[in-house]
Amino acid sequence: MTRFGAAVFALLVLAGACSATSPTPQPTSTTLAQTPTTTRAPAPVSGTEGAPGLGDSYYPDLGNGGYDAQSYTVAITWDPAVGTLTGTTSMVAIATQNLSTFYVDFGELSLIEITVNGAAALASKTDSSDINLLVEPTQPIAVGETFELVITYSGRPATIRSVALPIDAGWTTAPDGTSYVVTEPDGAYSWFPVNDHPLDKALFRFEITVPDGITAVANGVNTEMITDIGSNTWIWEGTQPMAPYLATVVIGDVVIVNDEAGSAQSGIPIRNVLPPELAANPPAALALQGEMLNYFAEIFGPYPFATYGIASVEGFQAALENQTLSVFGADIVRSGFFETVLVHEIAHQWIGNWVSLADWSDIWLNEGFATYAEWLWEENQRGPQARDALIAEAYATVEGLAPLAPGAPPPDDLFAFSVYNRGGLALHALRQEVGDDTFFAILRRYTDRYANDNARTVDFIEVAQEVSGIDLSDLFNRWLYQPELPPLP
Ligand SMILES: [Zn+2]
């Protein structure tokens, strides 16, 4: 993510135990509920009950235990005139334990129907604001079994207040009527039921039905278009697993513009989603994405996805690296630092999206790396002196703020400035310590080892020590975990 600073520059910136032998429905639960609320509290976890979280040290409610989601089909019909969404989401998952009950994360839209393997299932919540929806299938699910959960729902999707910073996230409708989704680290559950943690990546297919004349875009490739009287269904599919917080749609009066030159240059089809006036007069830096993809493929390895591009939306004061389709606030696209943010979000496709966090406390692994990627691009384009000027500027900015160790930012200020700048400086300190050849070998081994997987800070340190043969614990401890800012590397 990239986030606007207040004034100067963008912060370069989310039961009674039901055993397998007693699947008796609880009388307070319901299969059909406009308000999925019961008085029953979540059951303590037993061997047959999936946990209501995945153990994230910062956000224990996010994600759920007991199964591994393989794929989602998110089929939604959006009526922009009245702001209502009707959805049917299918999640195919493999049970990682015997399950009499399990949870999915789901917001405040109204449930219409829930089935597991085609049979009606019970669903309940402690209260409507609770994100943990308890699902009780008619038949228990055995460990190793593949099962399909299908939930039909409807309502007016609303933004949620993020756990990580005081901003609204989730399904958002801009003043110009365009709807879009940005949800790092939480808020995917505001528009579909989900195992909402990067530890559970899955394949996604989106089927978005909108009125004629409205464009609907989501992550991945537009594989099909189904036309009906007065409406169209846009099918978008990803070819690689994705963390749920990176799922997005952009729906509105927007134009899909193919970047033919950038696509030819990089071998990656680049398509941007722009409002008509921007499509007619795009900023010059937008043409650099092909070159950026090539440059970072040299650093991090081949680009992992089937397509790339940005979507520009009004009213969003940041940018987010949604997989294959980064969502940019239009103010950033119009700004003088657009090129820098483009670099940042492209680098995240490898760092954050392909190599994902295992725990949100390690957010510097995403943001410090994406910040350092900005400096690498500057070095590549304008030379080491220009790079050093950016690094000195970043250091001076951090120096002027209260000390904050980027390896453990406050859970309610996850995207603190220091996570970006001091995280990037930590990588520069590493580069100074080990030399260029070893430094770039470390980056490459890290992205190779954790490709399409999840990593923690200890994993990166282990790779750095393995490649360099140097004990780097003191360097990382000073840069990441001690409040006091070390000298400029
Ligand atoms: Zn970022």
**55 half-sphere exposure, CB direction, 13 A CA radius:** 6
Q: How far is the CA of 181 from the centre of ligand 1 (A)?
A: 16
Q: How far is the CA of 395 from the centre of ligand 1 (A)?
A: 18
Q: How far is the CA of 352 from the centre of ligand 1 (A)?
A: 9
pLDDT tens for 197-234 read 999 999 999 999 999 999 999 999 999 999 999 999 99
Per DSSP, 25 falls in state: P
Q: Do residues 119 and 135 touch, judged by C-beta distance below 8 A?
A: no
Q: How far is the CA of 341 from the centre of ligand 1 (A)?
A: 9
Please state whether 324 falls in left (phi above 0), alpha (psi between -120 and 50) or beta.
Answer: left
Q: How far is the CA of 154 from the centre of ligand 1 (A)?
A: 32
Q: How far is the CA of 344 from the centre of ligand 1 (A)?
A: 6
**Strand 453-455 with 355-357, pairing:** parallel
Q: How far is the CA of 135 from the centre of ligand 1 (A)?
A: 34
Q: How far is the CA of 369 from the centre of ligand 1 (A)?
A: 8
Q: How far is the CA of 485 from the centre of ligand 1 (A)?
A: 21
Q: What tokens does 354 get? A: 């392909």
pLDDT level of residue 1 (50, 70, 90 thresholds): confident
Q: How far is the CA of 271 from the centre of ligand 1 (A)?
A: 21
End-to-end CA distance of the chain: 25
Per DSSP, 287 falls in state: G
pTM: 0.91
Q: Do residues 219 and 324 touch, judged by C-beta distance below 8 A?
A: yes
Structural domains of the chain sorted by starting position, each given as residue range(s) with its CATH number in brackets? 25-207+233-253 (2.60.40.1730), 254-350 (1.10.390.10), 355-481 (1.10.390.10)
Residue 425: exposed, middle, or buried by beta-carbon count in 10 A (0-12, 13-18, 19+)?
A: buried
Q: Do residues 396 and 417 touch, judged by C-beta distance below 8 A?
A: no
Rounded-to-integer distance, Cα 149 and Cα 111, Å: 13
- Between the alpha carbon of residue 483 and those of residues 12, 393, 398, 404, the distances in Å are 20, 19, 11, 5
pLDDT level of residue 46 (50, 70, 90 thresholds): low
Per DSSP, 44 falls in state: P
Q: Do residues 105 and 63 touch, judged by C-beta distance below 8 A?
A: yes
- At position 370, the amino acid (one-letter code) is A
pLDDT tens for 455-480 read 999 999 999 999 999 999 999 999 99
Q: How far is the CA of 326 from the centre of ligand 1 (A)?
A: 11
Rounded-to-integer distance, Cα 264 and Cα 269, Å: 8
Helices vs strands, H then E, count in the chain: 11, 25
Rounded-to-integer distance, Cα 204 and Cα 92, Å: 11
Q: How far is the CA of 2 from the centre of ligand 1 (A)?
A: 5
Q: Taking 90 as the threshold, does the pLDDT of residue 54 lie above it?
A: yes
pLDDT tens for 266-276 read 999 999 999 99
Averaged pLDDT score across all residues of the chain: 91
pLDDT tens for 61-104 read 999 999 999 999 999 999 999 999 999 999 999 999 999 999 99
Say if residue 185 is preceded by a cis peptide, omega within 30 of 0. yes
Q: How far is the CA of 290 from the centre of ligand 1 (A)?
A: 19
Q: Percent of the chain at pLDDT above 70? A: 91
